[in-house]
Amino acid sequence: MGVVSKIRRLVLGRSKISNDFLDALEEVLISSDVGVNTTIKIIEGIQKRVSKEKYFDEIELRKILADEIVSILPDDIPMFGDSQTLPKVALVVGVNGVGKTTTIGKLAHRYTSENKRVVLGAADTFRVAAIDQLQIWAERTSCTIIKQQHGSDPASVAYDTVKSGLSKNADVILIDTAGRLHNKLNLMNELAKMGNVIKNIIPDAPHEVLLVLDGSTGQNALEQAKQFSEATNVTALAITKLDGTARGGTVIGISDQMNIPIKFIGVGEGIHDLQKFDKYNFVKTLLT
Ligand code: GDP
């Protein structure tokens, strides 16, 4: 059941913001995967905002809730911020299956549609299928792909990719990486090495470390966000698989807890199914 249906049910037969009501609202938010800490923050915010025993209706409650959620989410910042240097470089991280390759493909499509030159780097050299999958997206979006053999050094692929991007006057370079969370020290070293190699070519790059999370996995996604943040400096989030699920609550919890801006959401498997994250729109959609 989605948040809206739960709220509708919650409000039925009630017309005052009482302690009892706030307890029930807390349950609704937690069961919608908002997470305990963020839920408490929202409830406390509502308590400050509205006086007890106030009469309200469902629409009013949704508005109060929307205002409160918007106020706790970090402000939207566009991908790559306002750095002026070109090419822009993003390292894309995340565990297998979350939709990392698909998100890179959708991003490549977005940028090529804006007439930007895109180069993809297949630095997930650990998984055999990863290079092939990225190759398919490169063909689909008519982008250059830089790859080496399965098992080769990811930092070497990153080096080749950035060098190639520079020589081709690329606008955007998207580098896929292997997300081996079970081996955090390796992951940390690998990402640090890639970062250093890239910095040697373009000092202020990578301009973005984009973590891709599967929004349908609830608190699991939050756990991954924490782990990746310990392994590297994650600067942006892309949350996938928000189509057809009632899991929008996850987004609120992750963004609040991690204080990392969400830049994109994935809403399907197709090439167009990537939306720029807009917190006002998102909360509006979640609560209407
Ligand atoms: P990776 O292992 O992280 O690179 O994951 P993939 O990009 O291969 O995606 C794993 C599966 O999730 C594929 O079947 C994708 O089509 C699917 N997928 C990716 N993003 C989305 C999304 O936003 N919505 C839905 N419904 N499926 C998605």
ipTM for the assembly = 0.99
Q: Give the predicted TM-score (pTM) of the model.
A: 0.93
Q: Which two tokens stand for residue 95?
A: 């565990």
Q: Which of 121, 30, 8, 74 is nearest to 261 (CA)?
A: 74
Cα maximum dimension of the chain = 67
Starting from the edge strand earliest in sequence, which strands make up the sheet with 118-123, in order?
144-146, 118-123, 172-177, 88-93, 208-214, 236-240, 262-266, 274-276
Q: Would the CB of 102 count as within 6 Å of ligand 1?
A: yes
Cα end-to-end span (Å), the chain: 14
pLDDT on residue 191? 94
User: Distance from the CA of 99 to the center of ligand 1, in angstroms?
Assistant: 4
Distance of CA 254 to the CA centre of its chain: 9
Sign (positive or negative) of CA dihedral 65, 8, 218, 105: negative
Nearest-atom index, ligand 1, CA of 130: 4
Atom of ligand 1 nearest to the CA of 127: 2
User: Pick from 131, 121, 176: which is nearest to 151 by CA?
Assistant: 131
Among 93, 102, 211, 241, residue to substitute to test ligand 1 (most atoms within 8 Å of Cβ): 102
- pLDDT of amino acid 232: 92
Residue minimizing CA distance to atom 16 of ligand 1: 269
Cis peptide before 203 (omega within 30 of 0): no
Q: Which of 213, 269, 275, when mutated, tests ligand 1's pocket best, judged by the most ligand atoms within 8 Å of its CB? A: 269
Whether 98 lines ligand 1, by a CB cut-off of 6 Å, is: yes
For the record, the structure tokens of 98 come out as 């979350």
Tell me if residue 180 falls in helix, strand or coil.
coil
Q: Are strands 262-266 and 144-146 parallel, antiparallel or unpaired?
A: unpaired
Q: Ligand 1: distance of its center to the CA of 264 in Å?
A: 14
Instruction: Return the bridge partners of 145, or none.
Output: 120
Which pLDDT tens digits describe the chain residue by residue (288 residues)? Answer: 667 677 777 777 777 788 888 898 899 888 888 889 999 999 999 888 877 667 777 788 888 888 999 998 988 888 998 777 899 999 999 999 999 999 999 999 999 999 999 999 999 999 889 999 999 999 999 999 999 999 999 999 999 999 999 999 999 999 999 988 778 889 899 999 999 999 999 999 999 999 999 998 888 899 999 999 999 999 999 999 998 666 678 888 898 899 899 999 999 999 999 999 999 988 888 877
Centre of ligand 1 to C-alpha 101, Å, is: 7
pLDDT score at 115: 96
Which of 143, 99, 102 has the alpha carbon at shortest distance from 121?
Answer: 143
Residue 197, classified by CB atoms within 10 Å of its CB into exposed (0-12), middle (13-18) or buried (19+), is buried
